[in-house]
């Protein structure tokens, strides 16, 4: 998202003007820096080297396992749950007061440097000072080579010159993305067999089953996911969101707005509150969003069947793709589905 767009909505995902960048390198040839090498995807790492192919298809190979990690908050939260600790954080979700909102999950900021925030997503000089081995973020667009969350397109080359960048998808299916974070965490040194993580994994699997059971038992219910501000309302287009896409695959009927694939939202006015009747309304928990109380007091939304019935529930738009994060999200939707009644 460009800065001017962000200040207006804060809800749109990072959409960057498409530019073509072709990175071609032979195995062993230095690119942008030494000894770090961004290699072609079919190159084979030598003994002792560390390699990872991210969700954009970019393979990064380093001389050894990276230790100094600079991570966007949206990637740091799931990696934290898997046991990975960042050297520094950056990104849209580092708020002005130093907090991370719901995107931060279980992150403890004590002793972690900040090299970018809501006002300046990543600061090159601060990034350089951290001497990172690897930079990790997420991506809403896997096709555009310069579309990274919290790294503006014009800074991608500069950031890559400091350390290689890898990204995990926030589109597709959240369950698949969670496994990708687990895979990356293991390569970064996490032990996925600890009792704590095995317990978290079991809780996550139980939450999936509970969600499916709740959706099947209440298959007549419909859900609407919104990011409402005082000025406008953004209606989420489920197939573009990894969490909503997963919920739909697991049996939840999500109201689909008039939006083009890849746009993530339809923007409507408050006067159009009745455009999409539903039995449940899930409201983004970002700070800019209207509350359930605000919606109930609205002269238009108060007439919406779900709002009138008090069937409004929180939606963490910055869903955390870890066992713990997705278990919390799945159980929250299941709680709502089990409690709601057919009103539309």
| Annotation: CATH topology of 196-339 | Rossmann fold (3.40.50)
Structure tokens at 311: 């069937």
List the CATH code of the domain at 3-191: 3.40.50.1980
How confident is the model at residue 48, as a pLDDT? 82
Q: Is 57 exposed, middle or buried (0-12, 13-18, 19+ CB in 10 A)?
A: exposed
Q: Would you say the CATH fold of 196-339 matches that of 3-191?
A: yes
Domains of the chain, residue spans: 3-191, 196-339
β-bridge mates for residue 228, sequence order: 233
User: What's the whole-model pTM score?
Assistant: 0.87
Pairing of strands 59-62, 37-39: antiparallel
Q: Which of 59, 64, 109, 106 is nearest to 88 (CA)?
A: 109
CA distance 45 to 17: 33
How confident is the model at residue 127, as a pLDDT? 98
How confident is the model at residue 46, as a pLDDT? 59
Q: Angle, nearest 10°, between helix axes 174-187 and 73-81?
A: 70
pLDDT mean by block of 10 residues, the chain; 344 residues: 33 33 28 34 60 98 98 98 98 93 96 96 97 98 96 97 98 98 98 98 98 98 98 98 98 97 97 98 96 97 98 97 98 98 98
């Amino acid at each position: 998202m460009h800065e001017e767009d962000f200040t207006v909505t804060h809800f749109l995902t990072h959409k960057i003007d498409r530019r073509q960048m072709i990175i071609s390198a032979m195995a062993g040839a230095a690119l942008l820096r030494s000894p770090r090498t961004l290699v072609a995807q079919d190159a084979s790492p030598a003994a002792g080297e560390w390699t990872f192919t991210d969700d954009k298809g970019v393979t990064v190979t380093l001389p050894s396992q990276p230790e100094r990690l600079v991570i966007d908050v949206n990637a740091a939260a799931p990696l934290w749950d898997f046991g990975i600790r960042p050297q520094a954080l950056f990104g849209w979700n580092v708020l002005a007061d130093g907090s991370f909102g719901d995107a931060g999950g279980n992150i403890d900021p004590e002793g972690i440097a900040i090299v970018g925030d809501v006002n300046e997503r990543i600061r090159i000089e601060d990034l350089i000072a951290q001497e990172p081995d690897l930079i990790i973020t997420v991506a809403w667009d896997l096709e555009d080579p310069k579309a990274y969350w919290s790294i503006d397109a014009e800074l991608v080359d500069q950031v890559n010159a400091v350390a290689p960048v890898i990204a995990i998808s926030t589109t597709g299916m959240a369950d698949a993305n969670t496994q990708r974070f687990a895979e990356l965490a293991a390569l970064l040194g996490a032990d996925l067999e600890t009792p704590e993580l095995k317990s978290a994994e079991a809780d996550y699997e139980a939450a999936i089953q509970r969600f499916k059971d709740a959706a099947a038992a209440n298959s007549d219910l419909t859900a609407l996911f919104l990011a409402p501000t005082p000025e406008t309302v953004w209606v989420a287009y489920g197939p573009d969101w990894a969490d909503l896409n997963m919920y739909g695959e697991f049996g939840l009927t999500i109201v689909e707005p008039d939006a083009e694939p890849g746009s993530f939202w339809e923007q409507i006015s408050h006067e159009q509150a009745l455009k999409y009747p539903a039995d449940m309304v899930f409201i983004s928990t970002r700070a800019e969003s209207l509350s359930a109380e605000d919606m109930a007091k609205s002269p238009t939304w108060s007439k919406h069947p779900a709002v009138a019935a008090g069937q409004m529930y929180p939606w963490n738009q910055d869903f955390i793709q870890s066992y713990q994060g997705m278990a919390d999200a799945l159980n929250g939707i299941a709680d709502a589905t089990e409690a709601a009644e057919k009103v539309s």
